[in-house]
Amino acid sequence: MVDMAIGIIIGTAFNNVVNVLVKKVVMPPLSLMTDDVHFSNWKFVLREAHGDVIEIAIGYGELIEVLIDFGIIALTIFVVLKFMNRFRNKAENPDDLEVETPKNIELLSKMEKLMKEQNELMKKKWQ
């Protein structure tokens, strides 16, 4: 449970970092390329505001910003997981001598070899 709590806390903090990255770093150049139009201002107006009647609009520009946020988060998580899996696969490979293999993986590897030898002996005995 502690690992999950740490993951949630780090994920929340990372979400804030990505929000600032998108709003302050990615979006200004994009708005400059679109003649200083901010994505958050893009909307499809369903009903104009008149007097006491408020405007009703679909804000698809904010959706674009959220999708960019999601894309950055997804890409970052993908890269981090690929990086972690590469090291975990190296550590769990008993034939790889660069990284010290954990004892439980080493023992399982030895047991697998012994079982294969035993199966070969059993096959020879029954033939």
- Domain locations in the chain as residue ranges: 2-92
> Among 42, 39, 23, 43, which Cα is nearest to 31's?
39
Whole-number Å distance between alpha carbons of 93 and 105: 8
Q: Mean pLDDT over all residues of the chain?
A: 79
Question: Residues 15-41: what's their mean pLDDT?
Answer: 77
Please measure the distance between the N-terminal and C-terminal CA atoms of the chain and give it in whole angstroms: 53
Q: What is the radius of gyration, based on Cα positions, of the chain?
A: 28
**The pTM is what?**
0.51
Which 3 state secondary structure label does DSSP give 55? coil
Higher pLDDT, 34 or 11: 11
Whole-number pLDDT of residue 65: 79
Looking at residue 33, its amino acid is M
The dihedral over CA atoms of 48, 54, 58, 60, expressed in degrees to the nearest 10, equals 100
pLDDT at residue 43 is higher than 80 = yes
Whole-number pLDDT of residue 37: 66
Q: CATH says 2-92 is which class?
A: mainly alpha
pLDDT at residue 45 is higher than 80 = yes
